[in-house]
Structure 1
């Protein structure tokens, strides 16, 4: 039992070292230029140890992303787009948005680097697709097949997901300079009222 516990701790520690090495090197030279040798040297492990956990650099990045994505999915289950307007009218952040932002903040070291120009160019696209899928699932439960809209659902989802990723990227690039509650309040208002009306109401100055 003690042997297995030590082995698990060693595995966790090694993965942390590799993750930290990935973030440091990505910030320094760009993700596309990193090799397994680079990671091994920075983490002070041999390549054989790296290959015990990952196939290559792409597999490492993919596994780290999937961990974050799975967490988002678990929280997004509680997303109900019809509730957003209610919270916006009360001047409160939508709770599910707040929980998602708090979760993302716990991974800020990874997201800040990987959403930067040196980072993972696929990450914003994949986050957008994930958010679109999660929103679509909830909207499908809410929308009426009889109702007509001047905005097609796919265009609405594309706009909303892209806007949210833009806010997330900006927030990360600024070192999370506002709180999760402030950002969630901002997003709640924009989702409910639209960007122009939110700006004209001066909501951002009241947060």
Structure 2
């Protein structure tokens, strides 16, 4: 009779094989995505690059769309887990940086860890709809805080426009950061994003003081 330990060891080995095979398939897929458009990639291309047969591919994925969808969902699961663990206890806008910076830093670490794959998906060969999915995530990121500001009627501009502006600005910076081989740390980019949201571009970048000094000299 097979022992419980023996069965557990067998399951562990099987799980490891599945993980290894799926990683090989994903590596092959992203290697191809660096060379050509997603629509031009076939399952045959993927299996040949991964050195597996088609049957093995179909054990794990329905088609190439399912492969991409599973990966994209894995990323959102990580993002959503970060937000789900976040509790906003105060509504004072002065606490925004203190509360939001650690969350933004965690999110950027996910981008950092998955940079090679995400820059391809968000690039010209990738999924044209993924950018909008990402943008909607950052709308949720802001709503996690703004939801506590009950009197939204006092805002100078419609909140929908504010959310659209901030979510597009953040994702634009992150996409640029990925496409240019991550010259800054996640902590540096997170700080820049949060300070720009709080202070505006001119003040956060230091340009306001430069403009004011030049204006005084010109008088």
Q: Same fold (TM over 0.5)?
A: yes
Q: TM-score range by the shorter chain?
A: 0.7 to 0.9
Q: How does 1:20-169 map to 2 (within 5 A)?
A: 20-77=27-84, 78=86, 80=88, 85-86=94-95, 94-145=101-152, 147-169=153-175
- Whether the 8 Å CA contact 1:84–1:188 is kept in 2: the answer is no
Q: CA deviation at 1:87?
A: 6.6
Larger-gyration structure (1/2)? 2
Q: How far has the Cα of 1:79 moved from its partner?
A: 6.8
Q: Residue 213 of structure 2 aligns with which residue?
A: none
Alignment of 1:182-201 (within 5 A): 182-199=188-205, 200-201=207-208
- 1:76-101 CA deviation, whole Å, 9 max, x = no partner? 2327595774475x9x9811111111
Q: Which runs of 5+ in 1 are unaligned?
A: 203-207
Are 1:36 and 1:47, in contact at CA under 8 Å, matched by a contact in 2?
Answer: yes
Instruction: Give the paired residue count.
Output: 199
Please give the TM-score of this superposition, normalised by the length of structure 2.
0.83
Per-residue deviation at 1:197?
2.6
* Structure 1 residue 141, shift from structure 2 partner: 2.1
Residue 205 of structure 1 is matched in structure 2 by none
Higher relative contact order (CA 8 A, sep 6+): 1
In structure 2, list runs of 5 or more residues that go unmatched.
1-6, 210-219
TM-score, length of structure 1 as denominator length: 0.87
Distance 1:50 1:188 in 2: 42
Match of 2:178 in 1: 172
C-alpha contact (below 8 Å) 2:91/2:148 kept by paired residues: no
What secondary structure is seen at the aligned counterpart in 1 of 2:147?
A: helix
For the aligned residues, what is the CA RMSD? 2.3
Q: Within 2, Cα distance between the matches of 1:152 and 1:112?
A: 32
**C-alpha separation between the residues in 1 aligned to 2:94 and 2:128?**
33
